[in-house]
């Protein structure tokens, strides 16, 4: 007799289903007839919507200023030459240069500062405001604890920003090194991934080959403590060698692994 209370499932389970626990990649989803089962299809649509939202969601600048100042940081505002999100997405070149008002503001701040800064951090919306809003403050708090004896400039919150916008900001604020914390292009499993780009002696016209990158900073990717460890290593080496980019090699993974094996704390 047929069991009408427990009908057989119409979903065919993929034999690799057990491997799904090792990755966020969409593998072994099974099938229903010749198509995907409803649950993974809906999950894909949700992830796609979250990625689109991450690109278009504006950065809550007031909230970020408040969070940074509550954590004890000074802050400044900056905007690129892209007047709105549509121009930002269609004209990457506009996101790489400051608008006139922002340039004047930073120039005036630098003129009143008693000395140049060793490091200036820029927090930028990039392609994911979620990343900047969620991850910048905890990462900066960990970095500040590591950077004794280093002069840190105000945290510049930049809107409609591409990576190279940091070059103009660092040049105007007379920074030895500029560190850009920017929302990365969202993926279908990571709408809030933060990228870190550091450039020695920033100035307009620097190429991407003259900077280093740390990617996928978020609790589900490269955690805050590990990211701060790597960034501190690169900043120390950049200061020693007086350069960043392809000539600065990131050998921090060996030190990071040694710290994990010995049980040393990665954060103060």
213 is in an annotated binding site: yes
123 is in an annotated binding site: no
Tell me, letter by letter, the H, E, C secondary structure of 4-44: CCCCCCCEECCCCHHHHHHCCCCCCCCEECCECCHHHHHHH
Q: Where are the beta strands (DSSP E) in 160-202?
A: 175-183, 194-200
261 is in an annotated binding site: no
Residues 192, 131: contact at Cβ < 8 Å?
yes
- Token pair of 236 as six digits: 């120390």
Closest CA to 211 of 179, 237, 186: 179
Residue matched to tokens 């780009």: 197
Q: How far apart are CA 120 and CA 140, in angstroms?
A: 11
Q: In Å, how far from its chain's centre is CA 190? A: 11
Binding site for adenosylcob(III)alamin, by residue number, is 163, 184, 213
Binding site, by residue number, is 163, 184, 213
């Amino acid at each position: 007799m047929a069991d009408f209370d427990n009908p057989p499932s119409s979903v065919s389970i993929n034999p690799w289903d057990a491997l799904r626990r090792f990755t966020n990649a969409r593998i072994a989803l099974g099938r229903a007839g010749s198509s995907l089962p409803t649950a993974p299809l809906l999950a894909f649509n949700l992830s796609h919507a979250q990625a689109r939202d991450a690109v278009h969601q504006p950065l809550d600048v007031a909230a970020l200023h408040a969070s940074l100042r509550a954590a004890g940081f000074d802050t400044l505002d900056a905007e690129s030459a892209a007047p709105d999100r549509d121009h930002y997405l269609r004209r990457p070149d506009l996101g790489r240069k400051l608008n006139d008002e922002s340039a004047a503001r930073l120039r005036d701040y630098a003129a009143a500062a008693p000395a140049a800064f060793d490091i200036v951090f820029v927090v930028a919306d990039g392609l994911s405001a979620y990343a900047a809003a969620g991850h910048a403050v905890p990462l900066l708090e960990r970095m500040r604890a590591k950077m004794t004896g280093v002069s840190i400039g105000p945290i510049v919150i930049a809107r409609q920003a591409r990576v190279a916008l940091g070059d103009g900001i660092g040049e105007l604020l007379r920074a030895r090194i500029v560190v850009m914390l920017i929302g990365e292009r969202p993926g279908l499993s990571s709408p809030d991934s933060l990228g870190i780009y550091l450039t020695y002696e920033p100035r307009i016209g620097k190429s991407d080959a003259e900077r280093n990158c740390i990617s996928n900073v978020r609790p589900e990717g490269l955690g805050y403590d590990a990211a701060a460890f790597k960034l501190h290593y690169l900043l120390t080496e950049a200061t020693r060698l007086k350069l960043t980019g392809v000539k600065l090699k990131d050998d921090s993974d060996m030190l990071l692994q040694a710290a994990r094996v010995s049980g040393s704390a990665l954060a103060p």
